[in-house]
Structure 1
Amino acid sequence: MTAGLSTPRLAELARRDASAPAVPGPPAPPSERCELCAEPLPEVHRHLLDMESGDPLCACGACALLFSDTAAGGRHYRLVPDERRELTGFRLDGPLWAGLGVPVDLAFFSVDGAGAVTARYPSPAGALHASVHADSWRRLAEANPVLADLRPDVEALVVHRARGAAEHWILPVDDCYRLTALLREHWTGFAGGDAVWGHIGTFFEELKGEQ
């Protein structure tokens, strides 16, 4: 089951420039509430993706059920799935990776409703976005047919190749926001520093432990 976000605005945290000083916020409320109907939420809850802003919204069980039909939210809301899939035997050699145009060894890739692919990856300046060439993604998908099952907008292919790792997952986007926030919190210097890579390793180990 998807771990609850520590704040309903993790997307804002993930997008904030890493060079900006942290600004203390108001004390956290006693409990989170559904961002659609204000119902109190348990610690573990589902999320909706606001298609207009790109933000994940915390949702109660009733609102999650309401938007479980992909047509229910129209163009505004999509229910974020709670499945995580580790991709064993994933084929991603050097030339395939180079074709994706990502200059670092950790990134996640999402597909929108029109089939366009966006890569997101960490940098000293914060999270960066880049479009992936359609032919490069097609070659990767031909080598890995599982990518045909990637749900547009609400799931992402996550690749971690840094420091000898070989992690390949299809994760819900709220997990990707958690990972991005983790990177922002612990990233130091040009290459991230030892501490951030330790936290990233723990992130993937915890995913495996929850399967």
Structure 2
Amino acid sequence: MRNAPSRRDGERCEMCAEPVEQSHPHVVDLDSRELMCTCRPCSFLFVPEGAAAGRYRAVPERYQQFPEFALTRAQWEALGVPVGMAFFFRNSRLGRVVAFYPSPAGATESELTVAGWEEVVAVNPGLADAEPDVEAVLVADRNVEGPVGAGEDAFDCFLVPIDACYELVGHLRRQWRGFDGGQEVRERLQRFFDDLRTRSRPVRTGQEAS
């Protein structure tokens, strides 16, 4: 999927050409895998399932954290993700879950092992509630988030709008310096996860995720 476009003065809705605010909704074009900037009235048109013959879907604004998320280091390595953070979502056109991780080149797809992901979901069934194409499961090794989890052998897990993931990827790509990204990238990651914790509703085992 193409990264969400950066903010520009005079940015307009890509559906009706009306001006949009800096914080505005997005719609996913399922055929091109592009994120489209939209005004709120236009985004509402694509909330119902099957709208526009199923080509477009509005990105929700749901944020959740899974405090009881269970993942071992061995399970993470079995997923085949080469870094400590990735987001996972179901691509309805491909009919499977795909995984992407941030890199200097932008969002990079990882060759996800299906069996490994199914094992993770079996232990954490709430992850299956993410809406295809428009919501992602973001998993991060606490060692990549900054001081909050430094040194801990544990992972955090959030359910987030897909545009939040691509916004983060875009910021990291622009700020990346050297081999490991540099201090700016580390500070950006810490701010991002601090913000996620603030806005996310905790969902525990047995709770409805909606």
The CA distance in 2 between the partners of 1:43 and 1:97, in whole Å, is 36
Q: Structure 1 residue 100: deviation in Å?
A: 0.7
Q: Contact 1:158 / 1:168 at 8 angstroms: preserved in 2?
A: yes
Q: Aligned AA for 2:112?
A: V
Unaligned 5+ runs, structure 2:
201-210
In structure 2, the residue matched to 1:121 is: 101
Residue 165 of structure 2 is aligned with which of 156, 176, 187?
A: 176
The CA distance in 2 between the partners of 1:125 and 1:34, in whole Å, is 27
Whether 1:190 and 2:179 are equivalent positions in the alignment is yes
Residue 131 of structure 2 is aligned with which of 151, 156, 169?
A: 151
Residue 203 of structure 1 is aligned with which of 171, 192, 197?
A: 192
Unaligned 5+ runs, structure 1:
1-8, 14-26
In structure 2, the residue matched to 1:51 is: 30
The CA distance in 2 between the partners of 1:125 and 1:40, in whole Å, is 30
The CA distance in 2 between the partners of 1:180 and 1:193, in whole Å, is 15
In structure 2, the residue matched to 1:6 is: none
In structure 2, the residue matched to 1:11 is: 4
The CA distance in 2 between the partners of 1:143 and 1:66, in whole Å, is 36
Q: Aligned AA for 1:131?
A: E
How much is the aligned-residue C-alpha RMSD, in angstroms? 2.1
Q: Number of matched residues?
A: 189
Q: Structure 1 residue 53: deviation in Å?
A: 1.8
- TM-score, normalised to structure 2, is 0.81
Q: Structure 1 residue 12: deviation in Å?
A: 6.0
Q: Deviations over 1:94-149 (max 9, x none)?
A: 12101110011011111112541211112344431123121111101101000120
